[in-house]
Amino acid sequence: MSPRDVRERRGVVIAIDGPAASGKSSTAQWVARELSIRHVDSGSLYRAATWAALLDAPDPGAWTPESVLAASSGIRLLPTSVSFVPFLDDVDLTEATRSATVTSQVSSVARMGEVRAWVNDCVRAVAKDHDVVVDGRDIGTAVFPDAGLKIFLVADPWERARRRLVQRLGRSPTEAEIAAETEWLVRRDAADATQTVQARDAILLDTTYLTQQEQVERIVALARAAFSELS
Ligand code: DC
């Protein structure tokens, strides 16, 4: 089956949570492709809300949950052939929301309860009609506590920092670069700590010594065991 032939809804929800740079989104995307279902990156909605808030009022000190939600009111999760991504009118916001400015402000937006409720509603709405792999921080706890499969990905901060740098720089980073990135990641973990929660029934997968292909194979095997309709 090609990725374009995504499956109709049969009630499959796979939750993949974990800290920053644990490989959630790329792993979730790959798992979804293997299973011919769609991927939803819940973080992309927090990023889209932050992007919209910046456009509306460049000083984050002035933001309130109400102003962020008002700025985000036109944003929708729309389907591509393999995923759901945030759009404003007919513009795909994926690239815009990955800017350094958005990244530096998104944690404060993600701490706003009203914004969390909006993101959760958007994600639940698309999962009503489609089988999905959803990645985030609280998908297995707050968003889909009844998900049929929950994975919590972790990896050593040094290794997460190294992977981020390889992806960003396209070469092997130096020890000093990894050390600086690890410091940033540890600060980021602290900023997102309250939202990043492992469900009691999640399967913990430490990927420090796994390749991405190995992670994907493990999750796909767990998914096929958990959902007979995927075998
Ligand atoms: O995974 P990411 O870097 O794209 O996430 C962006 C921000 O959104 C980050 O601060 C964590 C937060 N987030 C969250 O609080 N809950 C989610 N389900 C997904 C992301």
Q: How far is the CA of 151 from the centre of ligand 1 (A)?
A: 16
Of 99, 58, 79, nearest in space to 7 by CA: 79
Going along the chain from its start, the domains and CATH numbers come out as 1-37+132-224 (3.40.50.300), 41-130 (3.40.50.300)
Q: What pTM, to 2 d.p., does this model score?
A: 0.93
Over the stretch 90-131, which tens digit does the pLDDT of each residue have? 999 999 999 999 999 999 999 999 999 999 999 999 999 999
Burial class of 5 by CB neighbour count within 10 A (0 to 12, 13 to 18, 19+): exposed
Cβ of 106 less than 6 Å from ligand 1: yes
Helices (H), 57-202: 65-71, 100-110, 113-129, 157-169, 175-191
Mutate to test the pocket of ligand 1, among 25, 195, 198 (most ligand atoms within 8 A of CB): 195
Cβ of 45 less than 6 Å from ligand 1: no
Over the stretch 215-224, which tens digit does the pLDDT of each residue have? 999 999 999 9
d(CA 195, CA 167): 25
- Other C-beta atoms within 10 Å of 190: how many? 10
Residue 230, pLDDT > 90, answer no
Q: How far is the CA of 108 from the centre of ligand 1 (A)?
A: 10
Residue 3, pLDDT > 90, answer no
Q: How far is the CA of 160 from the centre of ligand 1 (A)?
A: 16
d(CA 224, CA 195): 28
